[in-house]
């Protein structure tokens, strides 16, 4: 069975500082990996995805993530956060591109001035 672990429940970062959100997955074959962001009262929005090719993927809003098969990780990074990045971030894994997704428990990001 596939699973996702997001070890950090809550992270606080100063505006302008760099960010890394951790994600570890468990899946037997090549996973389809996703990062979604959820703002209060909003639906989930896809930030980026990986399923093949270059292991460093670029997404929207200046985010990037790196797939490391040896570490079963897909960490999300941003070099300089903005106050508008405050939200809940979810990592997800799927058996295929359009198969059901298994989500982690999320990381809540707080930005301080």
Partner 1 sequence: DTGVSQNPRHKITKRGQNVTFRCDPISEHNRLYWYRQTLGQGPEFLTYFQNEAQLEKSRLLSDRFSAERPKGSFSTLEIQRTEQGDSAMYLCASSHIDVGTYEQYFGPGTRLTVT
3-state secondary structure of 6: coil
Residue 14, token pair as written in the block:
């100063």
Q: Does 44 bind partner 1 (CB under 8 A)?
A: yes
Residue 75, token pair as written in the block:
């960490």
Which CB atom, from 15 or from 88, has the smaller least distance to partner 1?
A: 88
Which CB atom, from 43 or from 113, has the smaller least distance to partner 1?
A: 43
In the block, residue with structure tokens 């059901």: 100
Q: Look at strands 3-5 and 73-78 and give their pairing.
A: unpaired
| Integer Cα distance of 37 and 102 in angstroms | 15
- Binding piece for partner 1, criterion CB under 8 A, among 13-21, 22-30, 66-74, 99-107: 99-107
Which CB atom, from 15 or from 51, has the smaller least distance to partner 1?
A: 51
Which CB atom, from 6 or from 111, has the smaller least distance to partner 1?
A: 6
Q: Does 55 bind partner 1 (CB under 8 A)?
A: no
Q: What DSSP letter does each residue of 67-86 carry, written as one string? A: EEGGGTEEEEEESS--GGG-
Q: Which residues bind partner 1 (CB under 8 A)?
A: 4, 32, 36, 41-46, 49, 51, 90, 92, 94, 96-98, 100-106
């Amino acid at each position: 069975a596939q699973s996702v672990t997001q070890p950090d429940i809550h992270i606080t970062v100063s505006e302008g500082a760099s960010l890394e959100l951790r994600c570890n997955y468990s899946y037997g074959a090549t996973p389809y990996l996703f990062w979604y962001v959820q703002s209060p009262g909003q639906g989930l929005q896809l930030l980026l995805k990986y399923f093949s090719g270059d292991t460093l993927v670029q997404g929207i809003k200046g985010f990037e993530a790196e797939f490391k098969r040896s570490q079963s990780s897909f960490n999300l990074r941003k070099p300089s956060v903005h106050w508008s990045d405050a939200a809940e971030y979810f990592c997800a894994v799927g058996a295929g591109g359009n198969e059901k997704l298994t989500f982690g428990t999320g990381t809540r990001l707080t930005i301080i001035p």
